[in-house]
Amino acid sequence: MTTDSQWTTEDRKQARRASLGAFMGAVVDWYDFILYGLTAALVFNSQFFPNVSPEVGVIAAFATYGVGFFFRPLGGIIFGHFGDKLGRKRMLVLTMIIMGAATTLVGLLPTYAQVGVLAPILLVVLRAVQGIAVGGEWGGAALMSVESAPKNRRAFYSSGVQVGYQVGLILATGFIAVMGFVAGDEGFLTWGWRVPYVASIVLVGVGLIVRARVTETTAFTTEVEQKGAKAKMPLLAAFRENPKAFLQIFGLRLVELFTSYIVTTFALSYSTNTLHMDKQFMLDIGIIVGVVGIFTIPTFAIISDRFGKRRVYILSGIVGAAAAAPFFMTLEAGFFPGVVVFSILLVNVAHDLAVSVQQPLFADMFATRNRYSGAGVAYQLTSAVAGGLTPFIAAVLVAVMGGTWTLVVVYMVAGCLVSSAVAFFLRMRGSKDADEPEIAEAGAHRSW
């Protein structure tokens, strides 16, 4: 990996193209993925699970929401395997096409009233396909940008992967809000929610144009293809060389997943179904934190490139734990300014501090020849367990407590503190600021 001063003009162009390609892919995939979460909270409980109580309908809708997360590890395994063998770019084009097709088809699905039990079955199948596609996206996008960037600016150049999530959140939330206004409550339930799904095909087209201009990373072509260092089974090689990295990534991601999905997904359902607030309240919050995140993530990435990734991560968990209870207190009170402040603390500080450094931090835990599989699968396994289940678990905790949020806060605080603890005890290679994770290069010449 070259430093910024050693870059050629072509190196700079490739890094910018890789960063833009990773960003656009993330926008497409997260727009599609978040869109499902929003409509699960607002539509799917009544349109696809109408023969149960409202509370059970919400839980069922969030259960299908979680299906996408459970299939993400499979996507990480499939695309990680071929990404470590054939290259990052090919897999990224394929994931975008698959995600766009599945999302468009969700917008065309018949409801339970039209085809009965076939409707939720088709919904679950398409959600699974979405999960497979997004499961292969993060690893490739992260590596494409990290491996193309200079060593001292990798967090900044790879931050587009996470900024893409914020833009996807804005587009999905904004589109839902606009359609709610245009179609009205009844029209939104019958046809308005479908429009953002079908319109995703436009984003896919733009994303494919951008990614077509990106070339394969030098790290892959020189260290893997030219040296013949490909592993027969990259995932097994990654696990053999650094098994503890899988647990470390799981612990590190809790603060990110708990803060984000509680605020942007669960709180939307809780505020409308339990607190009987207008859905626009939390939709507006989603747009606000999405806009702010476009600026906070690259800013935190620059800070981490200068002062160290581990310090940034420790701080993220502390902020998340501190802001959890105040968020729900202000939400229950319907105090919009307070909800904005604590949503920003949870998402734009706690969450964004963590995600601003994840790409280089996680990639460095594995060797180049197997990091698409290693980092990608570890990342997606955590998404399946901690991400997909979070809105579902939160809904169950509220039901157990008779409509109160106390246990949800306990759940959030525990996850945030675990992330800080893992970052604090993360064993590092001997860099000056103890900022580079130790990877097991021993036996890297062996193949599985």
Question: 231 falls in which pLDDT band (50, 70, 90)?
Answer: low
Kindly state whether residue 430 falls inside one of the protein's structural domains: no
pLDDT digits 0-9 by tens, 166-210: 888 889 888 988 998 899 888 998 899 999 999 989 888 888 888
Count how many residues are written for the chain: 448
Q: For position 339, what pLDDT does the model report?
A: 92
Which residues on adjacent β-strands are paired with residue 428? 437
Distance CA 424, CA 310 (A): 7
Compute CA distances 281 → 191, 278, 286, 288, 390, whole Å. Answer: 22, 6, 9, 11, 21
Most distant pair of Cα atoms in the chain: their distance:
64
Half-sphere exposure for 174 (CA within 13 Å, toward CB): 12
Of residues 183 and 226, more confidently modeled: 183
- Give pLDDT, residue 344: 95
Percent residues over pLDDT 90 in the chain: 27
- Report the pLDDT averaged over residues 60-78: 80
Confidence of residue 447 (pLDDT cuts 50, 70, 90): very low
Q: Is 284 exposed, middle or buried (0-12, 13-18, 19+ CB in 10 A)?
A: middle
In this structure, is residue 434 part of a structural domain?
no
Q: Is the pLDDT of residue 104 over 50?
A: yes
- What pLDDT shows up at residue 112? 84
The arithmetic mean of pLDDT across residues 284-313, rounded, is: 90
Confidence of residue 227 (pLDDT cuts 50, 70, 90): low
In a domain, 438, yes or no: no
The pLDDT of residue 427 is 66
Residues 313-329 as b/e (b if ≥16 CB within 10 A, e otherwise) read bbbbbbbbbbbbbbbbe
Q: Compute the distance between CA of residue 182 and CA of residue 20 in angstroms, rounded to an integer.
A: 33
Q: Which residues contact 331 (CB under 8 A, 6 or more apart)?
A: 267, 270, 271, 275, 339, 405
End-to-end CA distance of the chain: 26
Report the mean per-residue pLDDT for the chain: 83
Using the predicted structure, report yes or no on whether residue 443 has a pLDDT greater than 50: no
Q: Is residue 431 part of a domain?
A: no
Does pLDDT of 416 surpass 90? yes
pLDDT band at 432 (very low <50, low <70, confident <90, very high): very low
Task: Provide the pLDDT for residue 321.
Answer: 97
Q: What is the reported pLDDT for 238?
A: 87
**Mean pLDDT on 1-29:** 74
Range 425-437 average pLDDT: 52
Looking at the DSSP bridge assignments, the partners of residue 437 are 428
Work out the average pLDDT over 36-41.
77
What's the domain count of the chain? 1
Residue that wins the pLDDT comparison between 307 and 421 = 421
CA distance 437 to 422: 12
- At a CB cut-off of 8 Å and minimum separation 6, what does 334 contact? 275, 277, 281
| 223 pLDDT tier (thresholds 50, 70, 90) | low
pLDDT at 5: 53
Angle between helix axes 118-146 and 160-187 (nearest 10 degrees) is 160
What type of residue is 438? Answer: E
Ramachandran angles phi, psi of 437, nearest 5°:
-70, 145
At residue 395 the predicted structure's pLDDT band, cuts being 50, 70 and 90, is: confident
Element (H, E) at 285: helix 280-307
DSSP character string of 132-161: HHHHHHHHHHHHHHHTTS-GGGHHHHHTHH
The per-residue pLDDT for 441 is 42
- In which residue are the tokens 């931050």 written? 159
Q: Taking 50 as the threshold, does the pLDDT of residue 434 lie above it? A: no
Is 339 within the bounds of a domain?
A: yes
pLDDT of residue 445: 38
User: Residue 22 falls within a domain, yes or no?
Assistant: yes
Token output for 254 = 């809790």
Q: How far apart are CA 78 and CA 253, in angstroms?
A: 22
- What residues are paired with 86 via a beta bridge? none
Instruction: Categorize the per-residue pLDDT at 430 as very low, low, confident or very high, splitting at 50, 70 and 90.
Output: very low
Q: Answer yes or no: is 65 within a domain.
A: yes
**What share of the chain has pLDDT > 70, as a percent?**
87
> In which domain, by residue range, is 100 found?
4-217+230-425
Q: Is the per-residue pLDDT at 80 higher than 70?
A: yes
| Mean pLDDT computed over 285-302 | 91
Spacing of C-alpha 198 from chain mean position: 22
Q: Please check whether residue 439 lies inside any domain of the structure.
A: no
| Pair 49, 246: CB distance under 8 Å | no
Determine the pLDDT at residue 234. Answer: 83
Residue 36 to residues 42, 90, 345: CA-CA distances in angstroms? 10, 26, 25
Neighbours of 8 (CB within 10 A): 9
For the cut 70, the answer to whether the pLDDT of residue 41 exceeds it is no
Q: Are 126 and 108 in contact (CB under 8 A)?
A: no
Q: CA 398, 404, 405: angle at the middle one, nearest 5?
A: 70
**How far, in whole angstroms, is CA 195 from its chain's centroid?**
23
- Banded model confidence at residue 131, pLDDT cuts 50, 70, 90: confident
Residue 52 has what pLDDT?
60
In order of 18, 47, 124, 278, the CA distances from 58 in angstroms are 39, 11, 15, 16
In a 10 Å sphere around its CB, with 0-12 CB exposed, 13-18 middle and 19+ buried, how is residue 291 labelled? Answer: middle
Three-state helix/strand/coil letters over 7-71? CCHHHHHHHHHHHHHHHHHHHHHHHHHHHHHHHHHHHHHHHCCCCCCHHHHHHHHHHHHHHHHHH
Query: CA-CA distance, 155 to 43, in Å (whole number)?
Result: 38
Q: Is the pLDDT of residue 438 over 70?
A: no
CA atoms within a 13 Å half-sphere pointing along the CA-CB vector of 398: 24
Residue 196, domain CATH: 1.20.1250.20
Q: What is the mean pLDDT of residues 333-362?
A: 92
Task: Calculate mean pLDDT across residues 90-112.
Answer: 89
For the ranges 108-117, 126-135, 293-302, 425-434, the lowest mean pLDDT is seen at 425-434
